[in-house]
Amino acid sequence: NSLGLRTEWRVIQGTPDFFSITKKMHNALQGGEIDLSKIKKEIFEQVIYENSVRNFLDHDFVIVHDPQPLPLIEHYEKKCPWLWRCHLDLSRPDAETWKYLRHW
């Protein structure tokens, strides 16, 4: 804001199950283990969809922090660049989790 740029934050809202899954995904991306079942993916993707409906984006660019909100890009028209900032150590991610998330 001090540079004259209008900025806004959006925070993901979700259920306890959603946040349990994203915590396990977070750990798996840093080398931990996860059973990323079909139902877990469905819960994750449904909550992300619900957040996309709740949040209107009309900006010059979008910065996504962390892996959890990555799928949001799927639910918006591509009017601007999206940047992903990830603070995790991705040097040894769980292969299944990385494969699942990286296409976003």
**Domains with residue ranges and CATH for the chain:** 16-102 (3.40.50.2000)
pLDDT of residue 86: 92
Max mean pLDDT among 10-14, 47-51, 69-73 falls in: 47-51
**Cβ(8)–Cβ(63) under 8 Å?**
no
Tell me how far apart the terminal alpha carbons of the chain are, to the nearest angstrom. 28
CA distance 8 to 15: 23
pLDDT of residue 6: 81
Q: Is 31 helix (H, G, I), strand (E, B) or coil?
A: coil
pLDDT of residue 44: 98
pTM value is 0.87
CA distance 62 to 82: 5
Residue 80, pLDDT > 80, answer yes
